[in-house]
Structure formats: structure tokens, C-alpha cells
């Protein structure tokens, strides 16, 4: 089991490689922005400034941040080198309005040429 710090560092390295849909991922983006640790007033560093507590605050942001942290730990360097870092192309709303199941984008592309 990786340490929490290892997962946070993996997420920091993985984050610049990600593409997010601003509308569809708004809550997740907010959660990642607001994920934080509290100041530990009891343990000042040698300069006198307070340090952060060793574990992040457990609130609504921690669930999304944990999921992203596990994703970053799972998608290792091999997956990134294999081309997994490419942008995901989503189908437009017009294609999937009224459908119960959304087919992969490739299914639409092959049927559009017929």
C-alpha cells in the first residue's frame, strides 16, 4: 500500500498531463482546488512558522482527491508512454440526445460514412 505522500506526489506529477471538461468536471475541479491540510499551530518549524498537519482535512473534497490520487498511482509511466495521455474526444450532445445508451464515438464515425 503506497503512502499518502506518494499518492499526493503522483497526483502532482499526473495533473499537468490531464484534460478536464470545465462543465462536466466542475465539481471535481473544485474539489481538487480546495483539497488541503490544516496548519498545526503546536509544531512550528525552526523559523517559527506553523507546519501543516501530516494528513489532509477529511471533508467532501477528500473523496474526489482520493479518487484522483488512486488514478494517478494506477496510471504509471508505462501507460503514459503508451499514448494514454491523449485527449478524449466526447460525442456532441446532438448525437446522444434521447439515447438510453451512449455508443462509443467510433460507432458514430463508422455509421456516418455510410
Residue 114: what pLDDT?
46
pLDDT (tens digit, 9 = 90+) per residue, 15-24?
A: 888 888 999 9
Taking the chain (114 residues) in runs of 10, the rounded mean pLDDT of each run is 82 88 92 88 77 86 91 72 61 55 49 47
CA distances from 39 to 4, 16, 29, 47 (A): 18, 26, 23, 15
Task: Name the residue ranges covered by the structural domains of the chain.
Answer: 4-87
Query: Beta strand 39-44 with 50-52: parallel, antiparallel or unpaired?
Result: antiparallel
pTM of the model: 0.59
Amino acid at each position: 500500500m503506497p503512502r499518502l505522500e506518494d499518492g499526493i506526489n503522483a497526483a502532482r506529477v499526473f495533473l499537468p498531463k490531464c484534460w478536464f471538461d470545465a462543465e462536466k468536471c466542475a465539481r471535481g475541479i473544485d474539489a481538487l482546488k480546495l483539497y488541503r491540510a490544516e496548519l498545526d499551530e503546536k509544531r512550528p518549524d525552526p523559523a517559527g512558522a506553523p507546519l501543516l498537519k501530516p494528513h489532509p482535512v477529511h471533508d467532501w473534497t477528500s473523496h474526489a482527491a482520493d479518487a484522483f490520487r488512486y488514478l494517478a498511482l494506477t496510471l504509471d509511466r508505462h501507460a503514459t508512454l503508451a499514448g494514454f495521455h491523449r485527449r478524449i474526444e466526447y460525442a456532441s450532445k446532438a448525437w446522444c440526445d434521447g439515447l438510453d445508451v451512449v455508443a462509443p464515438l467510433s460507432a458514430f464515425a463508422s455509421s456516418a460514412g455510410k
